[in-house]
Amino acid sequence: GLIGFSANALIFSVLHKSFRASSFSGFSVLCCSRAISNCCMLLCYMIYSGPVALLGGAYGPPIVGLKFGHLTTFFYKSIVYVQLAIAFNRFIATFFTFKYQSICNRRGTFILLAVVWCLAGIHCIPEFLRKSKTFTRTRILQCSAGCGYTFFYESLSWNFIDTPCSALIGGPLLHYPSYSVFLGSILLNAVLFVKLSYHTLIHSKEMGGQSRERHKKNVRCFIQSFLQELMYIFELIFLQLMKPKERFIEFICYSLLWECTHVWDGMIVVLYRPDMRSRVRAA
């Protein structure tokens, strides 16, 4: 977790200059948003689930675990939605090259980011619903209408509390929006792959200096964002295929796999970008 946090913090430290008007980059701003979400997700693992696993039980009142679960939902959903925003950014850059600066300018990018974070916030609203405050050590009782998400020591995994409301938001209300967003992002990236491959194979020799550099930049940004998206696609497929019943397998599927996804999400960018590799070597 610490390695992933450091990698994502490095991404922000290198790319935060893109927020300035003089050196603004819509793609870099979206990547910064993603890095911030990854950092916050990994902090939740390091501050809460890690100590719970080591101590053998939850610390503090049960509401603490629920709030950490609330935060993980919020930041995870922001990553899901920002991935679609990044795919949209690359789509505009590839298909509407000469309109890119007017569409994905400072104002347009921050509006897009506001939509991303608002959607993530809306997705978390049901988890505020909680009728009862009767708790056991790790389970919430008498919550017929309550919702919540927390880390359970018994299974060493993040999961929803056992209530009808949680069964609803942990089922169709969780999966359908996520799958729809991922599907939209995959479709956009598939179209981008075809377009970029066509230009590389057919028109690469005809491109002038500026067109060639612009095309190379689009290809680099596409590969970076697509590699990051593949991590989450693999995670979703793995979770659907695996139906763990043993404690250790639950830990791998619902805790370790998630953490590794956020770690590698940041590591991909650090390893892929020359400006970040040079910072790592210098350190």
Instruction: Provide the pLDDT for residue 143.
Output: 39
Contact residues for 242 (Cβ-Cβ < 8 A; gap 6+): 249, 253
Backbone angles phi, psi at 68, to 5 degrees: -65, -40
The domain at 2-282 falls in which architecture? Up-down Bundle (1.20)
Instruction: Provide the pLDDT for residue 132.
Output: 44
Instruction: Provide the pLDDT for residue 167.
Output: 66
> In whole angstroms, what is the distance from residue 20 CA to residue 102 CA?
16
Q: Which residue has tokens 């927390």?
A: 150
Q: SS3 string of the chain?
A: CHHHHHHHHHHHHHHHHHHCHHHCCHHHHHHHHHHHHHHHHHHHHHHHHHHHHHHCCCCCCHHHHHHHHHHHHHHHHHHHHHHHHHHHHHHHHHHCHHHHHHHCCHHHHHHHHHHHHHHHHHHHHHHHCCCCCCECCCCECCCCCCCCEEEECCCCEEEECCCHHHHHHCCHHHHHHHHHHHHHHHHHHHHHHHHHHHHHHHCHHHCCHHHHHHHHHHHHHHHHHHHHHHHHHHHHHHHHHCCCCCHHHHHHHHHHHHHHHHHHHHHHHHHHCHHHHHHHHHC
> In whole angstroms, what is the distance from residue 168 CA to residue 278 CA?
47
> In whole angstroms, what is the distance from residue 230 CA to residue 45 CA?
22
Residue 151: strand pairing partners: 158
pLDDT in tens, 115-159: 999 998 888 777 666 554 444 434 444 433 467 778 888 777 787
> In whole angstroms, what is the distance from residue 15 CA to residue 216 CA?
19
Instruction: Provide the pLDDT for residue 85.
Output: 92
Please identify every stretch of the chain with a pLDDT value under 70, giving residue numbers as ranges. 18, 21-23, 127-146, 165-175, 203-209, 239-240, 242-244, 282-283
Q: SS3 string of 208-252?
A: CHHHHHHHHHHHHHHHHHHHHHHHHHHHHHHHHHCCCCCHHHHHH
Q: Is-contact 244 250, C-beta < 8 A?
A: yes
One-letter amino acid at 12 equals F
Diameter over CA atoms, the chain: 70
0.85 cut: is pTM over it? no
> In whole angstroms, what is the distance from residue 194 CA to residue 196 CA?
6
- Select from 79, 3, 82, 7 the least CA-distant residue to 45: 3
Instruction: Provide the pLDDT for residue 112.
Output: 93
